[in-house]
Structure 1
Amino acid sequence: MKNEPGRPAQLITKKFAKELHSNFMKYRASIIAKYIKKEDANAVWFSVEELENYIHYIKSKGAKKGFAVNGIRFYFGVYPDEKKYADKAGLMTLFLTATGKRIRPVALNSVQTFALTRENNDSDDQNDNNEDIQSIEPMNYGSIGRPPSLLY
């Protein structure tokens, strides 16, 4: 294979992945299920195509907005317990947001200046240059692993 990628440093063993998932089910999922009185999602799936498209989108949109996109932060969330969310209502989800560093200033009016100031201060990782880029839309709506729970 031409240009074969290097082995990622963050890979873990299948055994450790099973341990992590088992710990989640034992120490988090059981508590959540007691509290919400139903089994919650325990996994989220996005296709490779969806992820590649999102990566392309955030890099392109980030560049137009003056950012060097350097990553994606994954947040946990819970769908509102409303009818319009159907079988996902009240269940846990995962959504993705672009992170990056501002590489060039953009022309600003007073409203945009406020937004930019807020945008650059909304991250716990400001000093790491991995701040959430609030002006690029997060991605959600993967397929959730919900009852019956998926087992790793």
Structure 2
Amino acid sequence: MKQQINHIKQYVIIAFALILVISCKEGQTNAPELANLERSIKEKDSIISNLKEQLGELADDKRRIPNNIVQSEFAKEIYHLYDEREELINQVIGQDGEDKPFKATRSLFYDIDDLQQYIRYVKIKSRKARVKPSGFRFYFALYPKEYVRDRENKKYAQRQTFFIAPTLRKKIDGRAVDLGYTLDNKFNVELLKDIIGFDSIRKKDGKMYQKAGFFNVNLSNLLEEENSLIANEVSGTPPMGEEQ
């Protein structure tokens, strides 16, 4: 940016110099020479204008930095605060689906084109349902012990993952809450808190049980969901436990 500013200063000096030359020689300069000088000044003005526009764009880019951007040192700090929990998870799980030492998931990769396609998909489906998503919610989850990917791949079994769902902004007890949702086969909105029951499943004495009302789900949900908005295997490269 400093280099661009220096270029502007140079062109401004040249432009003023040319103007002085014109004023000094106004009485003795012939028409062709005057026309050349005016053309040169216009070219320099155009260059200065373009540079100012570029500098303005750079300034706009700086102003457009998202509010959730953090510094690398902070990212390093919070990443390594999870180290002890990773060690605990590795000890508790013991072995992965291929009987190798378990290594807890520390990162997930999703292809940018797949994410953009997913966002477009959500917007199109939601428009048909006449709702406007307020954002996306990421839900932590765990693959089951018997989970197999691509027929033979058992490395993902018991690994931490997450699924994504769009959200609708609702007012509950006077405060705005963004609730995850999906759509049934008739484009009716279904809140995830109702169909999944996040607070409805609990372990007791090593067994799973459901609260009353957990199975209050439409019969259409038992069929294949044509309009599901829930994404998990977005790019085909879910967690492998590698630190990248």
TM-score after normalising by structure 2: 0.47
Counterpart residue type for residue 35 of structure 1: V
Q: Residues 65 and 127 from structure 1, CA distance in 2 versus in 1: closer, same or farther, beyond 3 angstroms?
A: farther
Query: Aligned pair count?
Result: 129
Pick from 88, 92, 109 the counterpart of residue 31 of structure 1: 88
Counterpart residue type for residue 25 of structure 1: D
- Pairs within 5 Å for 1:3-152: 6-26=64-84, 28-37=85-94, 38-82=102-146, 84-85=148-149, 86-101=154-169, 127-135=175-183, 136-141=228-233, 142=235, 143-147=237-241, 149-150=242-243
Counterpart residue type for residue 134 of structure 1: T
> Which structure would you say has the larger RCO, counting Cα contacts within 8 Å and 6 or more residues apart?
1
Q: Which has the larger radius of gyration?
A: 2
C-alpha deviation, 1:6, in angstroms:
1.5
Q: Residues 52 and 96 from structure 1, CA distance in 2 versus in 1: closer, same or farther, beyond 3 angstroms?
A: same
C-alpha deviation, 1:50, in angstroms:
0.9
C-alpha deviation, 1:101, in angstroms:
4.0
- Contact 2:147/2:156 (<8 A) preserved: no
- Contact 1:75/1:95 (<8 A) preserved: yes
- The answer for unaligned runs of 5 or more in structure 2 is 1-53, 95-101, 184-227
- Contact 1:40/1:92 (<8 A) preserved: yes
- Cα deviation 1:93-118 (Å, max 9, x = unaligned): 1211111248xxxxxxxxxxxxxxxx
Superposed CA RMSD: 2.8
What is the rounded CA distance, in whole Å, between the counterparts of 2:174 and 2:106 in structure 1? 30
- The answer for unaligned runs of 5 or more in structure 1 is 103-119
- Helix, strand or coil for the counterpart of 1:87? coil
TM-score after normalising by structure 1: 0.72
Q: Residues 61 and 125 from structure 1, CA distance in 2 versus in 1: closer, same or farther, beyond 3 angstroms?
A: farther
- Helix, strand or coil for the counterpart of 1:132? strand
- Contact 1:42/1:144 (<8 A) preserved: no
What is the rounded CA distance, in whole Å, between the counterparts of 1:125 and 1:17 in structure 2? 35
